[in-house]
Structure 1
């Protein structure tokens, strides 16, 4: 229960729901017990009424006995129905308080986890799979909800029923009470083990279903690759194997489920049989009446479900504890990307890297080694180099997706770690190397980074990114749905929509991280022509492995294995025949000619 203590603040937040739920549980339990005593009185009244009726046979008094008997039976019947109706009302409110409380907490906990996820650094997402993150915010939270709702509700019912019913039973007849309650612990333990078996098999089914779903999703997402390599038959064979595994596990669960209810009915029937057998012997001895047997049968039925639920709720608590421990594992992880002084001001764009070194925390790879450079406001700096030279790391550090492990990065003379994250990132237009578009309209994808979209700004951004004509060619124009991860667009179109998304913000600093790699030379030249006007008014950083993309830069930085090996203008770097820049230029020129 230590891990589950994390949900106590949520219970305190909804304490009135909880306290009202406890009250309604108590009231519904009391109204469940009283009818059992009324049934005993009614049974005894029937026996006495029959005896008196025969005793006064053939007399005028017999008619009066019959009328009195009828009125009393009707009175008890109406009273039992009224109590049952009252209990039904309290059961309704019991669920409307405790179960509703659990739903509120489930919603709050999901929001808490999602908000916490967003605060964690990129290194966290590099270590954990998306499926794991989704599992903790959905399945694990749902299991905790089952503890907060049904488990607590049925446990309270069980405790109150035992505290109220068992003393009443002992007061009537100790021997009958002990024999009647004998099968109930066996029932509870049996349910506990059977339910654990069911839950374990359910988990296996869920994993099999998850694996099958993932396989199908990947197959359909990569359908072009699958067809081009003529692997349909092999793919179908793999799906059949996954589907058969799911079927076998489902049949195994069905077998266990088939044992579940017969086991419950057998033990309930055994308890009822013992009650009638032992109770009948006590009636013969004259220690109890037949009404007492009826009362005890009602008590047994009242106790059966809570005792059955005890095994179930014990399993629920175990699973909730394990799930909350998994949730706590993520909630206990704190981000180290926090603002030191929360500086919020408009940026001019004077960027300075001073002996910056960076090692990725999850892989231990050193991406940058003592890198120093400066970009003045309004200037354009290009960063070029081979794959793995550390180009994209420069952009990630400037946006403060990671913090440097050595040196300092300053913007307008202030360390980036002192800026408010919202103020810093809100004034940077970043087009990442790995383009991601949401499953939404092109319009909403372009306007994603601004709070109050303006049609004119969006259209101009699309024109500057040279994607305006492509969008108008679609039947629905800017309202075209791009599909999952932008699958309906070509690679170049996705890159240009991503660029428009950055440009529409009218950022103070523009970062293009290899954002023209998927477009042809003609389109690249058109985009660069548009960007010349845009970059004239803001500090820009162009990261690329293509020399053709960086020729317009005021200065070019050449990286190799995280170290600056050259720094200067295009003409100056071309003059160095032995330099890496000249080698990259010649190699790419030969490739284009070929």
Structure 2
């Protein structure tokens, strides 16, 4: 249970409720223990009546009294059992809530490299299935564990005080059971880990299949995907069956060993009664009830062991991620407002996952309020510059300064708050168009939303939908076209009104006429804002205050549109090529 020590902090947090649950559990079990002794007394009453020691009316009175006590204590035991479940199971739900939030919060702190190395399905499985397994440990396992310990602690001493020899024979199967459980639980732990791994694998495969359903259909790969899913499902089923086969040993063994205990009670108890070692047949009946009361706790030991082992395996998987230290750390706690000046000093950056050096010792300065276009071929490092400005990554060497301050010496939340990023592959949530735009400003009014939608030239498209701004989008905004998704993302950034705009080829899916209108609106909206515009089109870059040409991570050219088209080089060639294409 080494891995499960991690949730001890939550057990301490809800210690008061758990202590109350423990007290209630003990009370419930104490009331349930009244029944066997009064069944014994009731049988003794019958024996006395049979021996003519008491008359019929007295026997009836005593039996009625015993029955009422049994019913009363049973009702009280039931009430406290209900309160026990209400107390302890609620705590497990609180722990589940806290642990899910902790995992999710930690996910958000981890940098982009983490998400490149780990699949979404696996991440989802750890925060859902694995956390649920841990909840079972913190709730049902804990509750039934306390219940079992309480019963053993109460019943076994009573049995030895009542009839020591009979108690000894009755409890002989229990050590055997403990050894079997110990050995089987080790196998369960190993197989539980494998099952959880395959659940993650299956979740990842199905999640990717649903996300890429348009590609699957376009290439007619449905049969291939079904075949792969079937193979995965069969493999997962086999792993689950291997676990189920081990679990299946528990209950038959429990029933067998409890049955042996019952035989011992009847046989040994009967001999003792015949030999006069015990006074009443009621003792045998009492012991039979005790054995049956121990049946569920003993049988549940296997189930509890299985739950603990599965929870241990799941918490180990959760801990693997929780122990990863975020590489992007917020070193400054106080807020640090930004004005918008950006400076790169000899910046080099290499991606950890691919070991590709995207930027090689580049330097440039962007003054507050300037618009700078970055142009270059695919893989030249354009998007990397934007990611570094938003501090989604930290540089490998060199330094980035915002407002003449090293970026690491600024509050991370302040940086992200003052950056409005529009990626080329616009991501929209499965929500209304209005809420997707409001992502940039949560308390925005409808008038503000419409205003920025008009600037992004997407208002007319939205008004053509039946539900207009209340139209619910499919996953990743699949309801909209590529150009519409980009323009909704632009509206989102405009609504945020940050100090720094980062536009990453965000007009690639828009026609040139619409592009010109949007660029004009963007120029007006970002007059006093710093803007970095990544593009493959000269038409997007020509009105920028400065244009930077990148090639293989290095600055090839730098200057204004006018100066660059007068200089032989990449930009001039690109300008003439795109001009000819436009005319043709």
- The TM-score normalised by the length of structure 1 is 0.90
Could you say which residue in structure 1 is the equivalent of 2:6?
A: 6
Aligned-residue CA RMSD in angstroms?
A: 2.8
Change in Cα spacing, 1:139 to 1:355, as seen in structure 2 (3 Å) is: same
Secondary structure of 1:504's counterpart equals helix
Taking the TM superposition and a 5 Å limit, the aligned residue runs for 1:438-477 are: 438-477=429-468
**CA contact 2:254–2:298 (8 Å) conserved in 1:** no
Distance between the aligned counterparts of 2:457 and 2:18, measured in 1?
Answer: 59
Change in Cα spacing, 1:230 to 1:109, as seen in structure 2 (3 Å) is: closer
Could you say which residue in structure 2 is the equivalent of 1:520?
A: 511
Secondary structure of 2:33's counterpart equals helix
**CA contact 2:251–2:302 (8 Å) conserved in 1:** no
Change in Cα spacing, 1:334 to 1:253, as seen in structure 2 (3 Å) is: closer
Tell me which of 132, 139, 142 is aligned to 1:152.
142
Could you tell me how far 1:488 is from its partner in structure 2?
0.8
Distance between the aligned counterparts of 2:428 and 2:516, measured in 1?
Answer: 24
Could you say which residue in structure 1 is the equivalent of 2:15?
A: 15
Greater displacement, 528-537 / 74-83 = 528-537
Distance between the aligned counterparts of 2:298 and 2:28, measured in 1?
Answer: 17
Tell me which of 159, 162, 165 is aligned to 2:152.
162
Q: Which whole-Å deviations, capped at 9, do the CAs of 1:358-395 have from their partners, x for residues lacking one?
A: 22233332221221111122211011111111111110
Greater displacement, 36-45 / 171-180 = 171-180
**CA contact 1:342–1:418 (8 Å) conserved in 2:** no
**CA contact 1:462–1:500 (8 Å) conserved in 2:** yes
**CA contact 1:438–1:485 (8 Å) conserved in 2:** yes
Distance between the aligned counterparts of 1:264 and 1:501, measured in 2?
Answer: 62
Distance between the aligned counterparts of 2:545 and 2:334, measured in 1?
Answer: 29
**CA contact 1:188–1:309 (8 Å) conserved in 2:** no
Taking the TM superposition and a 5 Å limit, the aligned residue runs for 1:59-98 are: 65-98=55-88
Could you say which residue in structure 2 is the equivalent of 1:434?
A: 425
Could you tell me how far 1:567 is from its partner in structure 2?
0.5
**CA contact 1:29–1:157 (8 Å) conserved in 2:** yes
Change in Cα spacing, 1:244 to 1:111, as seen in structure 2 (3 Å) is: closer
Taking the TM superposition and a 5 Å limit, the aligned residue runs for 1:237-252 are: 237-238=227-228, 241=231
Distance between the aligned counterparts of 2:462 and 2:314, measured in 1?
Answer: 46
Change in Cα spacing, 1:165 to 1:111, as seen in structure 2 (3 Å) is: same
Could you say which residue in structure 2 is the equivalent of 1:277?
A: 267
Distance between the aligned counterparts of 2:514 and 2:288, measured in 1?
Answer: 85
Distance between the aligned counterparts of 2:241 and 2:133, measured in 1?
Answer: 24
Note if 1:531 corresponds to 2:506.
Answer: no
Change in Cα spacing, 1:190 to 1:325, as seen in structure 2 (3 Å) is: same
Could you say which residue in structure 1 is the equivalent of 2:355?
A: 364
Note if 1:543 corresponds to 2:534.
Answer: yes
Greater displacement, 318-327 / 30-39 = 318-327
Change in Cα spacing, 1:361 to 1:467, as seen in structure 2 (3 Å) is: same
Q: Which 5+ residue runs of structure 1 have no aligned equivalent? A: 54-63
Note if 1:584 corresponds to 2:574.
Answer: yes
Q: Which 5+ residue runs of structure 2 have no aligned equivalent? A: none
Distance between the aligned counterparts of 2:273 and 2:243, measured in 1?
Answer: 45
Distance between the aligned counterparts of 2:210 and 2:3, measured in 1?
Answer: 40
Could you tell me how far 1:355 is from its partner in structure 2?
1.5
Could you say which residue in structure 2 is the equivalent of 1:481?
A: 472
Could you say which residue in structure 1 is the equivalent of 2:24?
A: 24
Q: Which whole-Å deviations, capped at 9, do the CAs of 1:439-482 have from their partners, x for residues lacking one?
A: 00110001102131122221121111111111111111111111
Distance between the aligned counterparts of 1:551 and 1:503, measured in 2?
Answer: 21
Change in Cα spacing, 1:246 to 1:418, as seen in structure 2 (3 Å) is: closer
Q: Which whole-Å deviations, capped at 9, do the CAs of 1:334-377 have from their partners, x for residues lacking one?
A: 32423444453543322211212222233332221221111122
Distance between the aligned counterparts of 2:70 and 2:267, measured in 1?
Answer: 26
Distance between the aligned counterparts of 1:344 and 1:258, measured in 2?
Answer: 58
**CA contact 2:376–2:550 (8 Å) conserved in 1:** yes
Could you say which residue in structure 1 is the equivalent of 2:329?
A: 338
**CA contact 1:192–1:315 (8 Å) conserved in 2:** no
Q: Which whole-Å deviations, capped at 9, do the CAs of 1:104-129 have from their partners, x for residues lacking one?
A: 11111111221222222222222222
Change in Cα spacing, 1:358 to 1:240, as seen in structure 2 (3 Å) is: closer
Secondary structure of 1:88's counterpart equals helix
**CA contact 1:188–1:308 (8 Å) conserved in 2:** no
Q: Which whole-Å deviations, capped at 9, do the CAs of 1:54-81 have from their partners, x for residues lacking one?
A: xxxxxxxxxx711011101111111111
Could you tell me how far 1:417 is from its partner in structure 2?
2.0
Note if 1:37 corresponds to 2:27.
Answer: no
Q: Which whole-Å deviations, capped at 9, do the CAs of 1:296-337 have from their partners, x for residues lacking one?
A: 011111212112222222232233233223323322223242
Change in Cα spacing, 1:273 to 1:342, as seen in structure 2 (3 Å) is: closer
Change in Cα spacing, 1:265 to 1:593, as seen in structure 2 (3 Å) is: farther
Taking the TM superposition and a 5 Å limit, the aligned residue runs for 1:192-211 are: none
- The TM-score normalised by the length of structure 2 is 0.92
Distance between the aligned counterparts of 1:246 and 1:418, measured in 2?
Answer: 49
Could you say which residue in structure 2 is the equivalent of 1:58?
A: none
Could you say which residue in structure 2 is the equivalent of 1:52?
A: 52
**CA contact 1:188–1:307 (8 Å) conserved in 2:** no
Distance between the aligned counterparts of 1:207 and 1:357, measured in 2?
Answer: 38
Tell me which of 375, 392, 396 is aligned to 1:401.
392
Distance between the aligned counterparts of 2:312 and 2:483, measured in 1?
Answer: 49
Greater displacement, 314-323 / 489-498 = 314-323
**CA contact 1:17–1:97 (8 Å) conserved in 2:** yes
Change in Cα spacing, 1:487 to 1:410, as seen in structure 2 (3 Å) is: same
